[in-house]
Amino acid sequence: MNNVLTEDLNSLLTSEIEWSNFKDKRILVTGATGLVGSMVVRSLIYANEKLDLGLEVIGLIRNQAKADRIYEGCMGKDALSFCLDDLSGDEPISLEGKVDYIVHAAAVTTSKVMVSDPVGTIDVALKGTKNILNLAVEKGTKGVVYISSMEIYGQSADPEDTRESDLGYVDLAAVRSCYPEGKRMCECMCTAYAAQHGIRISSARLAQTFGAGILPTENRVFAQFARSALRGEDIVLKTEGKSEGNYVYTIDAVKAILMLLYKGEAGQAYNVANESSHTTIRKMAELVSKTLSQEKSKVVIDIPADSKKLGYAPDVKMKLNSDKIEALGWKPTVGLTDAYRRMAEWMKEQKMI
């Protein structure tokens, strides 16, 4: 186990999470080979080892070899097993035994896939979520957290102080809208199941999440910026960088998700963002240059002629308000500069440069 991630996981053990809620529980995590899902799994099996919780963690995956690579050497993995399933299929999930909690993190997260396979993106979202919610009903699950996204807001109705009720405009004529509109429908489905079946389901609308624990295959903009800076290469923006980003550190996001499993209100959504970690893409690139390369890496704008085919999200101006989840006791601990420093340390240790 790597040092910076161990520090993060240890901080989780002494955080505001009430670990007694997970004693002797069986927890299913979908998307267990993605960033958010894998971090939730790592955190649970680590806490189980250190706190003797008697947990059983099931990672729902599509690729066993990928899962084996991700969890090789992880502390506490004896408590972890896997379920192979394609959530976008029409067949129900076959899983024996009880399921006390579910974290549903499986989703398409690559912009290029969203525009090259929008139908598949929708299928993963809608069919996958319906299959998970049917499983929760079947098992009488105590709590479900659906991993949503800040993209659900579209062009926010209140860009200066975006709260959970401030849904804005999403252009349905844009192919990439399959992602935010799919997230909206999945949240609507969660609300319907909560009302009709009495399952306590809440949605975590995550800001852009990154930090120690990112996977070697990660290619989203935060990882691209860090790699370029650590190599002393120019940081190349494929847009003008005007979008205002909302961010949250990996372990802070995990803390929010775990808290919502036992504290989240049925049918409710919660913004998960560090309000101090808010900036434009351009300014973030400049921060990365300064922090990781001492400004040796220059910020360059190079917009490709076929940029629409790459599936970049439209420019947005939005600042997420996190009052609702902070009222439950959640507090973010790692700001944007330290998030990049810690992620860079992780990338070096994992030879991801």
pLDDT value for 89: 83
Kindly give the pairing relationship between strand 244-249 and strand 278-280: antiparallel
pLDDT value of residue 9: 97
What does DSSP assign to residue 320?
B
Residue 350 belongs to some domain of the structure: no
Q: Report if residue 38 sits inside a domain.
A: yes
pLDDT tens-place string over residues 228-245:
999 999 999 988 898 888
Q: Residue 301 domain-assigned?
A: no
Helix (H, G, I), strand (E, B) or coil at 279: strand
Is residue 271 situated within a structural domain? yes
- Identify whether 232 is part of a domain: no
Domain hosting residue 146, numbered range:
3-210+247-276+316-334
Give the span between the Cα atoms of 51 and 10, in whole angstroms. 11
Q: What are the structure tokens assigned to 213, written together?
A: 């624990």
Q: What is the CATH number of the domain that holds 18?
A: 3.40.50.720
Q: What is the dihedral of CA 164, 168, 174, 180, to 10 degrees?
A: 0
**Residue partners of 160: CB distance under 8 A and separation at least 6:** 319
What's the domain count of the chain? 1
Q: What pLDDT does 45 receive?
A: 98
pLDDT of 134-181, one tens digit each? 999 999 999 999 999 999 999 888 999 999 999 999 999 999 999 999
- What's the CA gap between 258 and 235, in Å, rounded? 35
> Which pair of tokens denotes residue 182?
């799919």
The answer to the question of residue 328 being in a domain is yes
Tell me whether residue 307 is in a domain. no
Q: Is residue 300 part of a domain?
A: no
DSSP state of 93: P
